[in-house]
Amino acid sequence: MSSDPLDPNETGGYRPLAEMNVTPLVDVMLVLLIIFMVAAPLLISGVPLELPHTSAAPLPEAKEKIVVSVTRDRALYVGEEAVTWEALADRVQALKSDKTENTIFVRGDTKTDYGTVMELLGVLGKAGFADISLLTEEPQGKPGKL
């Protein structure tokens, strides 16, 4: 007796194969993995700003951060959520919890005027936040040069 599933003489017909070819499934999964690896860093960018450069040492990573961003046209964002100037203090206080740092991180576009950044720091100070850090980018080129 032959055990060949394609032998029509054994039972008078063909038997179905009980094996599955997983090669196409693996190929699709590898393509999806590459797509997600390339796309993931693009989704993390947040509010697009041109941050000023500095040679200061980077801050250590800790708890969840509250990041307030101000654009060159005075638009405010808490994280990636747009907020009005009037609602900023309430929104930031609502986010403060035991899981967040006591420090508020402020991101300001390089084209934002100094008065706007100072106004933002004043609003955060009146809201009761005394520990405020300004975020920058490391300079390109030689260390120590801006």
Q: What is the mean pLDDT of residues 16-37?
A: 86
Q: What is the mean pLDDT of residues 122-128?
A: 87
State pTM to two decimals.
0.55
Q: How many CB atoms within 10 Å of residue 7?
A: 12
Q: Domains (ranges, CATH) in the chain?
A: 8-43 (no CATH), 64-135 (3.30.420.270)
What mean pLDDT is reported for the chain?
77
Q: Helix crossing, 88-95 with 114-126: angle to 10°?
A: 60
Please report which confidence band the pLDDT of residue 146 belongs to, taking 50, 70 and 90 as the band edges. very low
What's residue 66's pLDDT?
Answer: 84
What's residue 145's pLDDT?
Answer: 44
Please report which confidence band the pLDDT of residue 32 belongs to, taking 50, 70 and 90 as the band edges. very high
DSSP-derived letter for residue 99 is T
> Residue 104: is its pLDDT beyond 70?
yes
- Host H or E run for residue 68: strand 64-70
pLDDT digits (tens, 9 = 90+) for 53-82: 776 666 566 567 788 999 989 999 988 889
What's residue 59's pLDDT?
Answer: 59
Q: What is the torsion angle, in degrees rounded to the nearest 10, for the CA atoms of residue 85, residue 90, residue 95 and residue 100?
A: 90
> Residue 50: is its pLDDT beyond 80?
no
